[in-house]
Chain A
């Protein structure tokens, strides 16, 4: 009798946990609207502690770099690195502009990263698990940051804002499996989709077998889809190969941004444009951009 009662009790505990979880899951897919306020409140509550740790770590890192290790050389190196980053970014923007002029497409906007108003944000945290590639930024709606805004660094595209509270926001990196960006190769202008796989590299999808893309080609956002402006550098194409019995080539992209060392980023204040949305698609946002 005791054994039976104990089994029932165990089943009841398991059932209660499973039921609560299932209700949470089913009531919040897709979009997470139901608990969005709770999410924003918890983000705001945790932010001061995250800021403190980020400040401590980055402060310690700065002290080490500036005072303990070859001060002048480090400074010069830092200056050169920043200059190289800036020049690479400007070069990419100019190449993009040249391409556009050559194709006489004056109606298209100029390289977007330069033209938009930006908000500089510091990365103060990451997701609670490493399964969602999210970074927490120390800027929120009070600073003009809104959900859907693209985020870049001087090196290239980083991701987009998926949740914004008053003081902090969540940035979904392009390396996340939920991300897919419509892109083109900078030289040959071949269309492709760059998808995250929760790793440092990015997967290339829908690159036609007829494409003239080569290893080392730079890949930039196409501007299709309504989230990312055109011309933002994503990375470099590697491992381009034909696949047997397939309409598409196989390739990967090495991102221009080093996501492990992401400390600051620029949020582009881009006005949202209507995206080609399928109402019953499994996830919203960038996944829509993978539509041909």
Chain B
């Protein structure tokens, strides 16, 4: 049941990811739901499972995208791992932690994409990436907290289905 729940979350995440332009088209930027889910994985399950979950999300994003195999696998996998590692070792205040992690992960994702595109595809992406950075950070922060808030609301249901995490969402909103 727990596996099915996460599979549904991934399916919903990527459906939203590829249709979000309906709502955010004029901005030219939309929330990175794969990044938000990878953050969730690292934050709540620790570095090992966070890395595996992030890499899985990144791999799906890679194959749904075009000509970018490996970029998102690396970016999301390392995000899941790094978030798990940082939270475990250095960061205590939950709300501030989450904010810093979302911003940091968005910056890291853009940096990795720019580097990979430059090295492997010979594409200069610095301009477009920088232009989209601030709205991307704002959208990712907003939707990360909305996602967290929503999950806390359905927490009793998730607990009954056996999806109890190491850290509770209540901690994040504390």
Contact = CB atoms under 8 A, between A and B. Distances in A.
A177 B64 contact: no
Contacts of A88: none
B6 to A, nearest CB: 16
What class of interface size applies to chain B in its complex with A?
35 or more
A134 B127 CA distance: 18
A92 to B, nearest CB: 26
Interface stretch (A32-40, A112-120, A205-213, A246-254): A32-40
Interface stretch (B71-79, B92-100, B141-149, B150-158): B71-79
Q: Summarize B's interface: helix, strand, loop or mixed.
A: helix
B83 interface: no
A25 interface: yes
Nearest to A282: B122
Contact of B66 (A49, A54, A132, A282): A132
Contacts of A162: 66-67
A130 B132 contact: yes
A189 interface: no
B59 interface: yes
Contact of B120 (A25, A127, A261): A25
Interface in B73-92: 73-74, 77-78, 81, 85
A244 interface: no
Contacts of A39: 63-64, 66
A5 interface: no
A13 B81 contact: yes
Nearest to A27: B69
Contact of B51 (A17, A35, A177, A200): A17
Given A128-B61, A283-B122, A20 B73 contact: yes
Interface in B15-32: 15-23, 25-26, 28-30, 32
Given A32-B66, A53-B15, A17 B34 contact: no
B66 A131 contact: no
Given A24-B62, A177-B123, A17 B78 contact: yes
7 smallest beta-carbon distances between A and B, as pairs: A25-B70, A21-B74, A24-B70, A17-B77, A198-B128, A125-B18, A28-B69
17 contacts: A14-B81, A17-B77, A17-B78, A18-B74, A26-B70, A29-B67, A30-B67, A46-B64, A126-B20, A129-B32, A129-B65, A129-B113, A132-B65, A170-B66, A178-B121, A261-B25, A282-B122
